[in-house]
Chain A
């Protein structure tokens, strides 16, 4: 709904924007989302689409619409750390599935933003479950570089993209190898060769090896090389992460973020030292592949304890439709804290891992992901602990606008 890079006016003809009101939510148990403890009986004020203040002793502006949240929880909206939201209506129906660039011939240049369709039903379904923002990534087709992903909001309007071209997405490990001739050696060679070609392009040398890059791809990679665009890398295995940390030393300007990271705990110290944040799958605990032999649900907790910045994502895990699992996953990490020998997250950390931390990792923590002043007015009121299975979102506000919570599934259930 609210753009950071484009003015709202430019899109006014399309979006018929709803006026953001001044809203004061009172009496609830307020979770700021930054890892701090919940505040009983707090107040949250949203004005002009933005958080004005949240906490105790917050003054209610004159003329604000008041929402009584007594007995309820008030949190920032869930920020889904890694998704394919809006890229598919029915996964197995090809015409509705835009996850990958297919045989377009392009790789890094692919910009997923125009494929994010807010009229697809996963928007309404996941909005009603309290998810308000999502990292949306393309899937890699024929190259280790999948293209540029976006940050989207789940507002009920025609403009889903908050930040287009927010990051580049690449594949390493088994999937990366399969896209570079079947070997991890090829994976690394492709990575280096494509970046060098991008540098050549910038230097005007333009000696293109056509099977690797087109000019448009080179432009996209230059932005990665210069550190202007984050590079999210899907990687699962310990060795692949260590070798990537070496690549980061070779290309120090690249801002790497690891995604998936099933064996992250095995190299947690190195990840922390390299300052590489991760968007990890929360509950992988099976050796689904030989790069996941060390899988354990304690992965995220151990990485956090080692000083790694960790958010929850759901790569290749029903990532176009079930963003609503995010709270359940966070709750499971809390449950580990009560399990002998397991390592999870405290409740406060767990909620941060689905709100402020993914926003921070994506470089937008000053604008999204928490109830701190100045952030986008994404606020959810829940009828109970938002990580508990029995709880539901009762009010969802995105960019200061209260959202409809109906969806097609409810019609199917209720109207019969």
Chain B
């Protein structure tokens, strides 16, 4: 069993941990005698997705340059989607059934839908008023019990801008970074729905947000609480992971136990079911986190805001950890001081996984441009990365890091038809999405004002339905 072997290996690694594990292994005699034993089954996931694809029609796009999301480029290609799925992708000779709508995309480009692995749309929505500030449960340094989806306001106007201007078809909404353990993230399809459940990406695993560095120690240190230092950050994390190991053992013991929703999330991480999405700027701190993950037997999926990844690109490659980065943000805080625009290119060149992320309701509309800048900065230092590879940073790589790489993120037959038709090369400043499909449904068409998504908030307001 994957879960117990992970625990075992952690227990064998360090004598201290062995002590903790031994203590946890003692039978809980009180609960064993008080209650009948229950199966230790994991709790059925509540708040299930009710997402349903909007209606779509079978469509073929021909005569386009295709970046398939997995690093391949097809000139004068064809993308055919039907039943909400990619049916076929190929060159000019790709068969198109006679009865489907055919778009001639002369001179245009097709990519998979863009995926932002780091967004706060919905939990820090616009308008950015205090009453909407729902991203940080900054009342305790560890809040694994909170779920970002319970803060998501489905009417955030930002979703529509990300779709129409950015071609974003899926995104991970994360809790903020005030806390060491900020809570569960949620992966959404970028379509409006009445409820967050109606946006939840079907079958997407959960992530858990963690944060290194300045934010947790500042937020809690200023309240006279632990942590107030980086060493305090790590200590609080380790103590919490030990509790999670003990909880998991109890849960798996077959005996009765009291549910703890925070511990459920942490145990889910140790089970390998919930991915770790770790805000971490500095290289040295990322290396500490990697060792902490080894100590407790979990895996870090992605370091977010990893501005110093370039300093440890080999370490990240060898550990199979992605870096979600901006093209060029720098200097806004001390831990962002050594950020460089060549970060993504150096990582890519080392063979490490690169993702371009936004953490921003404006730049989520221009992730393609951010990737293009990072590509150009690489070229200037002699690292040449093809356009098709760069598009991977925005599509297949984030999909894989979110555990949805088998469903979306590239244009492969059988995958969700999340597709963007750009009116030029998406790595040019002059290109914009012309049409965006989610699960084969046309959700945006620049030529059709009726297909501009408008949130309830914007109805009856100045600029309702305006081109944005």
Contact = CB atoms under 8 A, between A and B. Distances in A.
Interface residues of B, number: 56
A18 B295 CA distance: 58
A318 B372 contact: no
A338 B447 CA distance: 11
B361 interface: yes
Contact of A413 (B129, B310, B362): B310
B423 A338 contact: yes
A293 B161 CA distance: 14
Interface stretch (A63-71, A146-154, A360-368, A387-395): A387-395
Contacts of A324: 328
A286 B462 contact: no
Nearest to A332: B429
Contacts of A288: 126-128
A48 B427 CA distance: 40
Interface in A82-125: 88-93, 121-122, 125
Contacts of B328: 322, 324
B421 interface: no
A296 B365 CA distance: 13
Binding site secondary structure of chain B:
loop
B223 to A, nearest CB: 18
Nearest to A298: B467
A413 B346 contact: yes
Given A318-B332, A390-B375, A413-B381, A294 B462 contact: yes
B373 interface: yes
A402 interface: no
Contacts of A322: 328-329
A263 interface: yes
A332 B429 CA distance: 6
Interface stretch (B24-32, B46-54, B192-200, B336-344): B336-344
A298 B463 CA distance: 11
Given A266-B462, A293-B463, A389-B369, A338 B432 contact: yes
B17 interface: no
Contacts of A410: 340
A413 B431 CA distance: 29
Interface in A371-416: 387-392, 409-410, 412-414, 416
Nearest to B336: A90
A235 interface: no
B340 A321 contact: no
Contacts of A340: 446-447, 467
A324 B331 CA distance: 14
B461 A293 contact: yes
A287 B467 contact: no
A339 B330 contact: no
Interface string B292-329: 00000000000000000011000000000000000011
Interface in B433-468: 446-447, 449, 457-458, 461-463, 466-468
Interface in A298-346: 298, 318, 320-322, 324, 328, 331-332, 334-336, 338-342
B455 to A, nearest CB: 9
Interface string B106-131: 00000000000000000000111100
- The 4 closest A-B CB pairs, nearest first, are A331-B429, A294-B462, A413-B342, A294-B463
Interface of A: 88-93, 121-122, 125, 238, 263, 266, 283-290, 292-298, 318, 320-322, 324, 328, 331-332, 334-336, 338-342, 387-392, 409-410, 412-414, 416
Given A391-B376, A409-B330, 14 more contacts: A91-B331, A286-B361, A287-B457, A289-B128, A294-B466, A321-B332, A328-B369, A331-B430, A340-B447, A341-B467, A342-B467, A390-B379, A410-B340, A414-B381
